[in-house]
Amino acid sequence: MNILESFIIQEKDELLRRVPKIPSHFNNGSITSAAFKPKPNEDGLSVDLLRLTTIDFFINDPNKYLAAEIIAGDAIKEGCECIHDPLPDNHAHALIKGITKQIARKLSAICKVIDLV
């Protein structure tokens, strides 16, 4: 298989969202929905497929970032589409398409926080 070929994201797959350690992304120790809102220039919420990376590589700088882990099925259940979107320098890259404010709130409430510090 060519390294740039796409994988089908399964409902059981774990998706990682890199979250900067800044006040707008936290409230009382929990990640806020701001961490799950796509940037205006993105075609969906940028995440990485955990089975194609490692937590250490994904977080990169644990003093600046942590990871929010969600299960793809939770996003799919809300009507989102999860697609593998490999980049030349990041084969694990994926997108969650169709995120609304309400879905961002739900994902922030159920995500697992992974902090390496």
Average per-residue pLDDT for the chain: 91
Tokens encoding 103: 């879905």
Cβ contact 31:111 at 8 Å: yes
Cβ contact 39:104 at 8 Å: no
Answer whether 0.85 is exceeded by the pTM.
yes
Q: Is pLDDT above 80 for 83?
A: yes
Cα gap 82→14, rounded to integer Å: 11
Q: How many CB atoms lie within 10 A of CB 75?
A: 26
Q: Is pLDDT above 80 for 57?
A: yes
Confidence of residue 111 (pLDDT cuts 50, 70, 90): very high
